[in-house]
């Protein structure tokens, strides 16, 4: 009986000793990596034991989990990120730290002098001293942006909201999307129903630049321009006669387009056709009935006659006609709902001088917009 008790005690002692040894050998350390100045979480930080291949990385929320199978008193943990100064912390000290702060890194660059021909000042810049920034679409063609919403994200003061249907609206400096006036070559594009405009309806292939006017402009455009204005300037002259483009992406997405341009003396004419779409399946539905489909269609036609030019080559007096047709359709087969968004615009514009009147900009436009949603049977159609 005594021998059996001794065996049981010895077995329990061995189990406890083994657990203590295993605990002493493997260490798990968790914590967060943050910016020393802003206290924001830092993702994709490389975290590793110096001189070994043991390591991990922080996630999008700055959270990390580091497992060390065998520990010694000499181990040092290195935190490294391209935008921050590297930091080394002893393993024993790191186990007691919940937050790890990194100092932003200042990367010295050689001085560069940039010279650029400035565009003609837009009318609102002459009337109000607002902050104006310009984004040229031609500089971002190789980066894969497919619509105006994607391109405007590069301006840090512009926030772009995207819905499941693919609709994209923009807000400026923390305002609301219905407080931003969207113009296409000076012509209002906002929907009278909710005073917003779907930026995914704009095809970047026909755009020269975006003019972003930040700050309230209610004196000229009323309360609908409380946060700012986005003016989309189309291209008049192109560097091709015939252009065909094809793009493929994830989620069975892609688009193709055909663009034509011809110049006859001072007459410039162009037209384009672009069609695209994407198909995705919901993760909680196995068959094709859970598919989400987005399709888009763009037509653009421009005809411009330039009477005279400025000394720097910009059109001084010109008369142009423009037609835009953009449609987007969203089908959610899982929830049995569909959304259709159609936008058409026909405009005539004269820019230049008439007798003693200088720098005139006169335009006449007619627009058609239609939004339909099913199964709610809500159909809204407006004409401007």
C-alpha distances in Å from residue 228, one per residue of 119, 212, 301:
20, 7, 28
Q: Are residues 252 and 374 part of one domain? A: yes
Place of tokens 């594009």: 189
Task: For residue 231, give the 3-state DSSP assignment.
Answer: strand
Q: Quick check: is 180 in a domain?
A: yes
Total domains, the chain? 3
Q: Are residues 20 and 92 part of one domain? A: yes
- Close Cβ partners of 126 (under 8 Å, ≥ 6 residues apart): none
- Spatial separation of the C-alpha atoms in residues 66 and 29, rounded to whole Å: 5
Q: Quick check: is 52 in a domain?
A: yes
Q: Which of 72, 102, 132 is the endpoint of a domain?
A: 102
pLDDT for 288 equals 61
Q: Are residues 363 and 273 part of one domain? A: yes
Contact (Cβ atoms closer than 8 angstroms) between residue 214 and residue 133:
yes
| 186-205: b (≥16 Cβ within 10 Å) or e | bbbbbbeeebbbbbbbbbbb
Q: Are residues 22 and 137 part of one domain? A: no
Identify the domain containing residue 275 by its residue range: 242-383
Q: Quick check: is 131 in a domain?
A: yes
Task: For residue 61, give the 3-state DSSP assignment.
Answer: coil
Q: Which of 215, 233, 251 is the endpoint of a domain?
A: 233
Q: Are residues 309 and 221 part of one domain? A: no
Contact (Cβ atoms closer than 8 angstroms) between residue 172 and residue 212:
yes
Q: Are residues 353 and 299 part of one domain? A: yes
pLDDT for 378 equals 43
The span from the first CA to the last CA of the chain, in angstroms, equals 100
The pTM is what? Answer: 0.56
- Spatial separation of the C-alpha atoms in residues 103 and 87, rounded to whole Å: 9
Q: Quick check: is 114 in a domain?
A: no
Q: Quick check: is 173 in a domain?
A: yes
Q: What is the CATH number of the domain that holds 75?
A: 2.60.40.1120
Q: Are residues 201 and 89 part of one domain? A: no
Q: Which of 233, 260, 282 is the endpoint of a domain?
A: 233
Q: Are residues 363 and 250 part of one domain? A: yes
Q: Quick check: is 112 in a domain?
A: no
pLDDT for 4 equals 64
Place of tokens 């000394």: 311
pLDDT for 48 equals 93
Laid out side by side, the sheet with 84-90 consists of 55-57, 46-49, 76-81, 84-90
Q: Are residues 362 and 264 part of one domain? A: yes
Contact (Cβ atoms closer than 8 angstroms) between residue 296 and residue 255:
yes
Q: Which of 64, 60, 76 is nearest to 28 (CA)?
A: 64
Q: Quick check: is 87 in a domain?
A: yes
Q: Quick check: is 115 in a domain?
A: no
Q: Are residues 293 and 371 part of one domain? A: yes
Q: How does pLDDT run along the chain (384 residues), one tens digit per residue?
A: 566 666 566 665 555 555 444 444 678 889 999 998 888 889 899 999 998 888 999 988 899 999 888 777 788 999 999 889 999 999 888 888 889 999 988 766 565 555 555 445 554 455 555 667 777 766 566 566 767 777 787 777 888 887 766 778 888 887 888 888 888 887 888 877 788 888 877 877 778 888 888 877 666 777 778 888 888 888 877 777 898 888 787 767 778 888 888 888 888 898 988 888 888 877 766 666 677 888 888 888 889 898 877 665 566 788 889 888 888 888 887 777 888 888 888 888 888 888 788 777 788 888 887 777 666 444 444 444
Q: What is the CATH number of the domain that holds 171?
A: 2.170.130.10
Q: Which of 86, 89, 102, 98 is nearest to 35 (CA)?
A: 102
Q: Are residues 257 and 354 part of one domain? A: yes
Q: Are residues 78 and 24 part of one domain? A: yes
Q: How many CB atoms lie within 10 A of CB 149?
A: 22
């Amino acid at each position: 009986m005594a021998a059996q008790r001794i065996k049981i005690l010895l077995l329990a002692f061995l189990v406890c000793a083994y657990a203590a040894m295993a605990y002493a050998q493997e260490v798990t350390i968790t914590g967060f990596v943050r910016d020393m100045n802003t206290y924001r979480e830092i993702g994709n930080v490389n975290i590793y034991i110096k001189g070994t291949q043991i390591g991990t990385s922080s996630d999008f929320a700055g959270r990390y989990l580091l497992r060390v199978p065998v520990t010694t008193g000499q181990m040092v943990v290195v935190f490294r990120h391209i935008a921050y100064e590297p930091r080394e912390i002893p393993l024993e000290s790191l186990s007691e730290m919940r937050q790890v702060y990194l100092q932003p890194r200042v990367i010295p660059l050689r001085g560069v002098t940039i010279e650029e021909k400035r565009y003609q000042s837009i009318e609102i810049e002459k009337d109000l001293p607002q902050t104006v920034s310009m984004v040229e679409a031609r500089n971002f063609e190789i980066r894969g942006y497919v619509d105006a919403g994607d391109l405007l994200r590069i301006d840090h003061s512009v926030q772009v909201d995207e819905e499941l249907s693919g609709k994209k609206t923009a807000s400026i400096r923390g305002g609301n999307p219905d407080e931003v006036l969207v113009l296409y070559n000076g012509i209002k594009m906002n929907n009278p129903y909710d005073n917003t405009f779907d930026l995914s309806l704009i095809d970047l292939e026909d755009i020269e630049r975006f003019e972003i006017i930040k700050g309230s402009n209610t004196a000229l455009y009323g309360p609908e321009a409380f946060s700012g204005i986005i003016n989309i300037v189309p291209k008049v002259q192109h560097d091709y006669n015939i252009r065909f483009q094809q793009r493929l992406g994830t989620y069975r997405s892609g688009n193709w387009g055909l663009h034509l341009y011809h110049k006859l003396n001072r007459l410039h004419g162009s037209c384009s056709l672009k069609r695209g779409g994407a198909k995705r399946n919901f993760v909680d539905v196995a068959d094709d009935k859970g598919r989400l489909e987005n399709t888009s269609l763009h037509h653009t036609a421009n005809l411009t006659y330039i009477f005279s030019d400025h000394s720097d080559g910009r059109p001084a007096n010109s008369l142009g006609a423009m037609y835009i047709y953009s449609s987007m359709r969203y089908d959610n087969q899982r929830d049995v709902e569909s959304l259709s968004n159609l936008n058409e615009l026909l405009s005539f514009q004269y820019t230049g001088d008439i007798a003693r009147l200088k720098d005139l900009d006169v335009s006449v436009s007619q627009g058609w917009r239609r939004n339909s949603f099913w199964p709610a049977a809500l159909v809204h159609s407006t004409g401007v």
